[in-house]
């Protein structure tokens, strides 16, 4: 049974160190667990809590030993209300029991006591929604995330902060700045959080796999940040493993390449899911 509380947190290695070990052992794949209605239908499952649970646990069982981490998309559980969130709680607990790192893709961000409550939900030992890490949005100011940053550090968990996303609208915020762009300043802030980490830092960044030349154009040095880089966009969104190597350059060894639909469309057969995950891993060049 998973440990909770202060003693468990003291014995838990920092998230960055655990992720580095998982990436070195299993490879740099993050498997998305995205129970879209269309995928549920393609798997012959109902669009309800029972279908959601069957889908999610099947993915975990099939690819958990191949992926450095799995990333459930929280919104696709929330759409089922309390029953969906209960499934997410069971999935996160199953990840812990299976020894698979979890990234709750919640993109939370707020100020003051509200941000503290989000941190408590996703990062506190003993919370039913506790994940190994959670995605955060810094666009109310990076320091608005302080409750989550501090609690993650205290419990040996991690965060992934939205830095440079590949959606067209992102540039209108992330690329802005007379001297340093908003995205560059977020990377700088993450680098400061990771200073002194013995291996990989625990404050990660979300950088889209399809951002192209934006990192160079904005003079962003990801390697210096010592941050795990969650890179969505591999496969169905168009990015290849070679694209990742070129885009991230010296930071490529820290990239956790995320694939969802390209793997999930192979289900519900577990062997087919494993084969799809293996093909994805094979397509990622060695650092």
In the chain, domain spans: 6-282
Report the C-alpha gap between 69 and 146 in whole angstroms: 24
State the chain's mean pLDDT as an integer: 94
Report the C-alpha gap between 83 and 200 in whole angstroms: 36
User: In this predicted model, what pLDDT tens digit does every residue of 83-140 receive, in sequence order?
Assistant: 999 999 999 999 999 999 999 999 999 999 999 999 999 999 999 999 999 999 999 9
Integer-rounded Cα radius of gyration of the chain: 18
Report the C-alpha gap between 221 and 167 in whole angstroms: 21
Q: What confidence score (pLDDT) does residue 8 get?
A: 57
User: In this predicted model, what pLDDT tens digit does every residue of 77-88 receive, in sequence order?
Assistant: 999 999 999 999
User: In this predicted model, what pLDDT tens digit does every residue of 26-78 receive, in sequence order?
Assistant: 999 999 999 999 999 999 999 999 999 999 999 999 999 999 999 999 999 99
Q: Does the domain spanning 6-282 belong to CATH 3.20.20.70?
A: yes
Report the C-alpha gap between 266 and 38 in whole angstroms: 13
* Residue 189 binned pLDDT confidence (cut-offs 50, 70, 90): very high
SS3 103: strand
Tokens of 154: 């205290």
**Alpha-carbon separation of residue 39 from 42, 62, 69, 127 (angstroms):** 5, 16, 21, 29
Q: Which pTM value belongs to this model?
A: 0.95
- Average pLDDT for residues 164-178, to the nearest whole number? 92
* Helix residue spans in 49-181 (DSSP H): 49-63, 75-78, 81-98, 112-123, 146-155, 171-174
Q: Decide if 107 is catalytic.
A: yes
Q: Is the peptide bond before 91 cis (omega within 30 degrees of 0)?
A: no
The single residue of 4, 12, 107, 245 carrying the catalytic annotation is: 107
Report the C-alpha gap between 217 and 231 in whole angstroms: 18
Report the C-alpha gap between 168 and 10 in whole angstroms: 42
* pLDDT(2) > 90: no
- Average pLDDT for residues 199-212, to the nearest whole number? 96
């Amino acid at each position: 049974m998973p440990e909770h509380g202060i003693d468990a947190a003291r014995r838990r290695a920092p998230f960055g160190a655990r992720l580095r070990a998982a990436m070195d052992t299993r490879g740099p794949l993050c498997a998305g667990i995205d129970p879209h209605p269309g995928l549920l239908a393609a798997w012959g499952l109902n669009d309800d809590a029972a279908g959601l649970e069957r889908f999610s646990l099947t993915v975990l069982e099939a690819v958990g030993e191949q992926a450095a981490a799995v990333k459930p998309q929280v919104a696709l559980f929330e759409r089922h209300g309390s029953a969906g969130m209960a499934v997410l709680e069971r999935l996160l607990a199953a990840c812990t029991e299976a020894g698979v790192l979890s990234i709750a893709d919640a993109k939370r961000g707020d100020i003051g006591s509200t941000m503290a409550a989000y941190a408590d939900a996703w990062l506190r030992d003993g919370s039913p929604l506790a994940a190994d890490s959670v995605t955060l949005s810094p666009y109310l100011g990076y320091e608005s995330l302080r409750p989550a940053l501090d609690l993650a550090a205290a419990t040996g968990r991690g965060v992934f902060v939205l830095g440079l996303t590949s959606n067209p609208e992102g540039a209108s915020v992330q690329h802005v700045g007379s001297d340093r762009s908003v995205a560059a300043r977020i990377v700088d802030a993450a680098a400061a959080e990771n200073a002194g980490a013995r291996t990989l830092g625990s404050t990660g960044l979300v950088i889209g796999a399809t951002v192209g030349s934006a990192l160079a154009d904005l003079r962003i040095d990801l390697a210096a940040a010592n941050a795990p880089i969650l890179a969505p966009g591999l496969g169905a969104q168009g990015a290849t493993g070679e694209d990742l190597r070129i885009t991230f350059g010296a930071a490529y060894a820290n990239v956790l390449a995320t694939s969802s639909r390209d793997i999930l469309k192979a289900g519900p057969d577990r062997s087919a899911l494993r084969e799809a995950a293996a093909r994805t891993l094979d397509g990622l060049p060695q650092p």
